[in-house]
Amino acid sequence: MTLVRRSHERGITTLALDAPERRNALSARLVGELADALTECGKDGDVRAVVLTHTGNTFSAGADLRDPPHPDLLVALLRQIVELPKPVAARVTGHVRAGGLGLLGACDIAAASTQATFAFTEVRIGVAPAVISLPLLPRLDPRAAARYYLTGERLDATEAARIGLITAAGDDADDVLAPILDGFRRASPHALAETKRLLTAKVLDTFDQDAAALTALSAQLFSSAQAREGMTAFLERRDPSWLL
């Protein structure tokens, strides 16, 4: 069974993360399937833009702790979204945690319903939001990034829009997306590609400058003793040993 469900309507291809029983956690397999689907979209002349969404009540819980992708694979996926010569819009109607937020950062536009919640939970399991910072830090309000990176606090969709984590929020994510998708359909494919290139240049500079260092940091942290304790505590549904 595929972990990424694909549908197409009037030039817009929707890719839905479809592993709700695992809260759409980013396993090596899911990352690979999403990368393959994006490659196909990039080559398909009938695809004007891509919507990235989810089944179940969680957009993505972040890295699958039982089958985590190597940091290199996640970096490659995030860069692929940024470099795709077609706009990618996220549609969020549920919860987004940790690495899942990297997907939102890589997308050109992110729309969420007011039921959605967000949190950088890495520090609570002994790691850091390293590689997902490549697309996120160029877009986020610096003071807000410091607060939510360091505390792991949960924030709602209104706050997520205020700090630049998403583009807009509303009662219905589809209503928020409707005028955006209409705009994509009215634009010429070449103009969309070149305009996206302008918009993503600084984000790609960050990948060029920092990807190797952040990939190494992520690998180092995930193999640390505190990360092992944090991930074990999470899987066992208990508090980690460092809790005061």
| Tens digit of each residue's pLDDT (9 = 90 or more) over 49-98 | 999 999 999 999 999 988 888 899 999 999 999 999 999 999 999 999 99
Assigned domain for 179 exists: no
Assigned domain for 219 exists: yes
Assigned domain for 177 exists: no
Assigned domain for 180 exists: no
Residue 42, pLDDT > 90, answer yes
Q: Please give the single-letter amino acid code of residue 61.
A: A
Give the total number of structural domains in the chain. Answer: 1
CATH number at residue 159: 3.90.226.10
pLDDT at 244: 92
CA 73 to chain centroid: 14
The three-state (H, E, C) secondary structure of 203-230, written as one string: HHHHHHHHHHHHHHHHHHHHCCHHHHHH
Domain residues for 28?
1-172+189-244
Assigned domain for 184 exists: no
Which of 40, 85, 50, 62 has its CA nearest to residue 204? Answer: 85
pLDDT at 62: 96
Kindly report the backbone phi and psi dihedral angles of residue 162, in degrees, each rounded to the nearest multiple of 5, phi listed first: -60, -40
Assigned domain for 156 exists: yes
Q: Tell me: the pLDDT tens digits for 120-170?
A: 999 999 999 999 999 999 999 999 999 999 999 999 999 999 999 999 999
Integer CA distances (angstroms), 14 to 5, 113, 132, 158, 167, in order: 8, 17, 22, 24, 18
Assigned domain for 164 exists: yes
- For the chain, how are helix, strand and coil distributed in percent, rounded to 5? 50, 20, 30
pLDDT at 16: 98
Residue 212, pLDDT > 90, answer yes
Burial (Cβ within 10 Å: 0-12, 13-18, ≥19) of residue 129: buried
Q: How many CB atoms lie within 10 A of CB 207?
A: 21
Half-sphere exposure (Cβ direction) of 58: Cα atoms closer than 13 Å = 17
pTM confidence score: 0.96
